[in-house]
Chain A
Amino acid sequence: NAGVTQTPKFQVLKTGQSMTLQCAQDMNHNSMYWYRQDPGMGLRLIYYSASEGTTDKGEVPNGYNVSRLNKREFSLRLESAAPSQTSVYFCASRAKGRLNTEAFFGQGTRLTVV
């Protein structure tokens, strides 16, 4: 089982460039999440999608957009990258409806904006 797959694993962008981080899960999960991880800050929620067709802002949504393309895929777009968006990005998915279901994470994308 692939679980949660994120692409790419590494990316270097110039300030002002745009890019889309892709995430796909094969576990038939309803809910999907995008986080960024910075030293000393833990994982901060950017956007999440509780179910197909819905998206909601998390703690740090500014500078990002998301698309829940279908049940499997949830993409994160940086329209105009800034050095402050240098981070490690994690996608996660989770079954909906029961609290006692853990989230499964992708391997992360290390993004550097120069």
Chain B
Amino acid sequence: AQKITQTQPGMFVQEKEAVTLDCTYDTSDQSYGLFWYKQPSSGEMIFLIYQGSYDEQNATEGRYSLNFQKARKSANLVISASQLGDSAMYFCAMSTILSYQLTFGKGTKLSVIP
């Protein structure tokens, strides 16, 4: 079984500041992938960033980076220079090579304050 835990139901960040959204995971598989998605108030799911369990470097995509700590089973999303448009729900998800299920956490609602 695989499980994703997001412990921050809501977060506030000042515009232009950086923010870290927490994600911990649990799986017995050695080969897995971790994903972050953004869901604005309009409802669509937008893929942000991916980290593989065997990737040696932390993933980065523009203002998004993933702080991957394998021993601690954490995959935190860091958003630098927050913008008002970053206000949204953020979901962490994982998939393993064995089951191919895609399991999501409960999400974190981020609000960017002008």
Enumerate chain A interface residues (CB-CB to B < 8 A). Answer: 31, 33, 35, 40-45, 48, 50, 56, 58-59, 88, 90, 92, 94, 96, 99-100, 102-105, 107-108
Considering residues A35, A43, A50, which has the most beta carbons from chain B within 10 angstroms of its beta carbon? Answer: A43
CB neighbours of B91 from chain A (8 A): 42-43
CB neighbours of B97 from chain A (8 A): 99
Shortest CB-to-CB span from B31 to chain A, Å, is 7
Q: Contact between B33 and A99 (Cβ–Cβ < 8 Å)?
A: yes
Nearest 3 Cβ contacts at the A-B interface: A42-B106, A99-B33, A105-B45
Q: Contact between A33 and B43 (Cβ–Cβ < 8 Å)?
A: no
Q: Contact between B100 and A50 (Cβ–Cβ < 8 Å)?
A: yes
CB neighbours of B32 from chain A (8 A): 99
Q: Contact between B102 and A92 (Cβ–Cβ < 8 Å)?
A: yes
| A40 to B, closest residue via Cβ | B106
